[in-house]
C-alpha cells in the first residue's frame, strides 16, 4: 500500500469538492497530532476500499483553521462524513476501521 493515498485539500477548494462529489470523507488532521497518525492509515485504507464511490481527503487544520471552526470542531483527529454536500456524521478521536467503513456504507 502506498503512503498517503489520500490527498490534502485546502479550504479554498473544499466547498467545490463538496458540491462535486456525492460522498466525501474529510479527515481533519495536523502533523504534530499523534492520534492523527493512527487514523491516517485507516483513511488510506478507506480511500482504497471505496475508491469508486467515495472521495476521501485530509485537511491540515494548521493551514485551514476557518473550515475547522466552521464545523464547531475542537479536537483532532476528527473525521466528517458528507453526503450531497451535507454533514451527516462525525467521528472524533481514534476509532476502529470498522466504525469509519460502517459510516461510509450507510451513505452509499
Residues involved in catalysis: 33, 36
As given in the structure block, the three cell numbers for residue 22 are 456525492
- Length of the chain (residues): 108
- Burial label, 1 (beta-carbon count in 10 A; 0-12, 13-18, 19+): exposed
Amino acid at each position: 500500500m502506498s503512503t498517503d493515498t489520500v490527498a490534502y485539500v485546502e479550504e479554498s477548494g473544499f466547498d467545490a469538492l463538496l458540491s462535486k462529489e456525492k460522498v466525501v470523507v474529510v479527515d481533519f488532521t495536523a502533523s504534530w497530532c499523534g492520534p492523527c497518525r493512527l487514523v491516517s492509515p485507516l483513511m488510506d485504507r478507506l480511500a482504497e476500499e471505496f475508491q469508486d464511490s467515495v472521495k476521501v481527503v485530509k485537511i491540515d487544520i494548521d493551514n485551514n483553521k476557518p473550515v475547522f471552526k466552521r464545523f464547531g470542531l475542537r479536537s483532532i483527529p476528527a473525521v466528517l462524513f458528507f453526503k450531497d454536500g451535507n454533514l451527516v456524521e462525525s467521528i472524533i478521536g481514534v476509532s476502529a476501521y470498522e466504525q469509519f467503513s460502517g459510516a461510509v456504507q450507510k451513505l452509499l
